[in-house]
Every structure is written in structure tokens, then in C-alpha cells.
Structure 1
Amino acid sequence: MQALIFDVDGTLADTETAHLQAFNAAFAEVGLGWYWDEALYTRLLKVTGGKERLMHYWHVADLEEADGTKVKEIIDAVHAIKTRHYAERVRDGGLPLRPGIARLIDEANAAGIRVAIATTTTSANLDALLQTPFGTSWRNRFAAICDASTTRVKKPAPDVYFDVLRRLGLQGTQCIAFEDSENGLSAARAAGVPTVVTPTAYTLRDCFDGALTVLPHLGEPHAPVSYAGVDEPPGWVDLAALRRWHWQAVSEVV
């Protein structure tokens, strides 16, 4: 196990409610007359990527209008406004990282295990989320960062994982991925990366067949989590547990 690869939305932090609020704020600001509730947004999350989600919904809401010549221009503008609203909600610690994330990244950095990001979100969203917990130089903690600006084809396609693996110079079996959704798990597994899944309320009903394990979160000393596969677990996922899971996964492949 030479690297840990993290998804962002839903994995590093439970971001989807903030994204949903930002979408609705953008719709109101531009006068679209749209409103997404949690049930609808849960279904829309099957479409990966904010702009892609907007286009998909537009085709459902008004197919004739969605084929207009200025649709892409409008979607770009609405998405930019949504990104501004999202940044306002998460900036200055408005959205904490999920339990165990910062701890595990620190442990990996200290142990010389590289850490990477494989996400379909934008660079602006990454900056808004990670500057508070890790500081303005947060990118220095990661050996590779691939996002919507570097990889055009979104999950569940494995492209973003292949891009990260190329930058790391590693094979998928030399890494462990962390995802929260079926789309993310499918992308990681297609790239040959064993995957730990920590779903959110928006993805609990997804299918996670093939995951190394499915946990509510990675755990902390003050917020333990129960998980299978390790004798006398400390109550949180650490590098020792990941190494054992990784060895078991690679051994099964061999």
C-alpha cells in the first residue's frame, strides 16, 4: 500500500446539503423558478458533475428549451453562481471534515504514504473546503490532485483514477481509495483500486458490492466506529487496518 486516494464530495466532508442549498440559491438569484428538495437531489446525484446535473434536469424540466442555442452558456453562468454560494457556505470552517479524515491524512503524510485526490468537483470547491482545515498551502499535503479541470470524463468512468495513478506512477493495486457513492466505487474498482466506502444520507441506498468495507465514517478516539476485518480494533481506521485490508484484497486478486 503506497498511496491513499480520496474522493471529495461526501467523502472528505458531508458536502451535499451545502451543494443543494447553493443550487437552490443560484436558481433563485437568476429567476429560474426551479427548486430541488432532498429527495429529488438524491436522485440527481446519480448524474456526476454539477453542470451535467443541471443539463440533465433541464432536459427533464423542459426538453424543448434545453435544446436551445444558449443552454450551455446559461448553465455555465448558473454553475458559477452556485459555486460562489457553495464557497460562502463552507468557507471559514462552515463545513468540517468527516471523522477520521484529517487524522488519517496526517498519519499517511508522517509515514511517507502518498495521499491523492480523485474528484469530479471544481478546483474552486476544493479551495473553499480544504483551506480552513489544512491552510492556504493545503495542496502541499497531496502528491496528486485530479478534479473537474483535469479530467473531462466523470465518474463512474475510471478516468480520474487513471489520471491520479499516472501522476503517482503506481498501479491501482498499490493504493486504497475512499468513496461515498456507488458511482465513485465503480470508478475506483474499474481502475483496479481497492476501496473503502463511507456513505452519507444521500448515498446509503447505493449498492456497494465489491467494497473492502462499508463504514459510517473512519472513526476518531472520541468518536469510535465499529468495523469488521481487524482483531481488537481501536475504534477507528488507521494505517495498520488499511494495510491488512489491502493485503487481503491484493491476495484475493493474486
Structure 2
Amino acid sequence: MKVDALIFDLDGTLADTEEGHRLAFNLAFERYRLGWTWSADEYRGLLKTTGGKERLGAYITQLPVSEVERSRLLAQVPGIHAEKTKFYSSVVNDGAIPLRHGVARLIEEARAAGCRLALASATTAVNVDALLISNLGKRGPDLFSVVACGDQVAHKKPAPDIYQLALRRLDLPSSRAVAFEDSANGLSAAVAAGFWTVVTPTYWTEDSDFSAAGLVLPGLGDPAHPLEGEPGRALRSAPWLTFNELLERAGETKPSLANQALH
């Protein structure tokens, strides 16, 4: 299998951002005097809905309030989310959300091999740029040939729209790229678009079903942060996922006929 591009999800995959998002939501709720506070356990459940505005809408829909009040709250969703984004960007700009171990290493290995990089994320372009610049410097956004964001498609994950958009912009079939995800919704989107997918769960997603993934690891790993039990448990060549092993493993599994039919 020839791999010409790696396509990464952002939240949870490039960086474990969800605690930053949760805190930013709670600060926005305070600013709007809503009296809501999302605990870590509650937010873990809310993450089943992809997209911040969609998550807010789903939360409001199940609140025990009158229909008039529900309509008023739903009308405030864009403003609440915009306020939340300001708080989140401030946290990221302060350098409080690092990339997960091994992400920067694999990016550099892929680029050295001439492989293009892309992002397929439900988050906003502002959040993408903030995280990349904070961790990779001003060159961060330029490392990615394509950045596909959730507000650019009709349907968010688990629908495959965001990955299909990334493929169109890369001008590649899914058989020439590998997707990286951390959640069940993300995996469903990637598989529906025909990708062989690597999943690296976090606390927020670790209890999900990832049986459709090509490879599931606790992280990508690097020499300073080797993966426990590797090589031997899931990897073959090193205690971190190398670009060469990624090519080898992706080449061993062909997309299913059902997935090929999507393209």
C-alpha cells in the first residue's frame, strides 16, 4: 500500500484537549449566568455528540425546562459557543495543551518520507490554528496540506463528510491515506470513508468500541515515552509506532468491499 497522506483528527488525537474544552464551556456558562457546570464524568457522556454547538444543543434539548425556555436557550447557542472558543483559545495560547507523545515525531517522519499531512476535525479553524501554533510554532499550520473543519461540511462525525472533504482537497482515494482518531464517532466516520485507521483513545473515549480500527494503541509513543509492552503486544519493530511500521501494517489490510463501494 502506498501511503501519500496521513489525516489526523485534532481533539483527543493530536492533543488531549477535552479537559480544556470542558473548562472553557464552564467559564462560558458562568459568563452567561446559566448556572450549569459540566463535570468530567458528565462531559465524557456529552462527547458522544460531535461538535461544540451540537453538544450544547443536545444538552439543552434534554433539560427539564419549558419549551419557551428551551427555545430561548437554543437561540443562545452560537453566542455561548463563541464565548467558549475565546476561553479555549486563551488556554491553548498559554501553552497549557501539549501534543500527545509521539505526534510531533510521527509528523516529522512522515514529512521526511514525502508524505502529506491533513487535518479532519469537528473543531473550528481558530482552534486548529491556536493548537498548532502553540505546539509547533508559526510554521505549524503550514505543515498540513489540507485542514478540513466541521463548519465546512453538512454533517459532522460519525458521518464521513469531513474525511471525504479532506480527500477531495488532497485529490487522493482513501486507499492512499491513513486516518488517525481517538473516538468511536471519529472511527465510524473514517471507516465509512474507506480508511484504514489508527485509534489512540484517551480517558474520554477509552471505553468505546474500536473493533473496526486497523490498529489500536494507547498512544503513538516516542523514545522518551515508549509504549508499555511494546514491541510485542501490538507493534513489531519498536515501542512506538514508526512511519515504516505504519506503512507495513496499513498495507496488510485492504479496505472492505463495502467501503470501496463508497468511492
Instruction: Calculate the TM-score normalised by the size of structure 2.
Output: 0.91
Q: CA deviation at 1:251?
A: 7.9
**Alpha-carbon distance in 1 for matches of 2:182, 2:202:** 7
Counterparts of 1:73-222 in structure 2 under 5 Å?
Answer: 73-222=75-224
**Which stretch has the larger CA shift, 131-140 or 59-68?**
59-68
Count of equivalent residues:
252
Q: CA deviation at 1:152?
A: 3.0
For 1:81-115, what per-residue CA distance to the aligned partner results, in whole angstroms no more than 9, with x for missing partners?
Answer: 10011111111321110011011111111111011
For 1:2-44, what per-residue CA distance to the aligned partner results, in whole angstroms no more than 9, with x for missing partners?
Answer: 1100000000000000000000111011101111111111110
2:67 paired residue among 40, 59, 64: 64
1:240 paired residue among 234, 237, 244: 244
Q: Kindly provide the amino acid, as one letter, of the partner of residue 121 in structure 1.
A: T
**Alpha-carbon distance in 2 for matches of 1:81, 1:101:** 29
Contact residue 18 and residue 89 of structure 1 kept, 8 A? yes
Runs of 5+ unmatched residues, structure 1: none
Runs of 5+ unmatched residues, structure 2: none
Give the CA RMSD over aligned residues.
1.7
**Alpha-carbon distance in 1 for matches of 2:255, 2:68:** 53
**Alpha-carbon distance in 2 for matches of 1:110, 1:63:** 58
Q: CA deviation at 1:124?
A: 1.1
1:8 corresponds in structure 2 to 10
Instruction: Calculate the TM-score normalised by the size of structure 1.
Output: 0.94
Q: Structure 1 residues 20, 112: CA separation in 2 closer, same or farther (over 3 Å shift)?
A: same
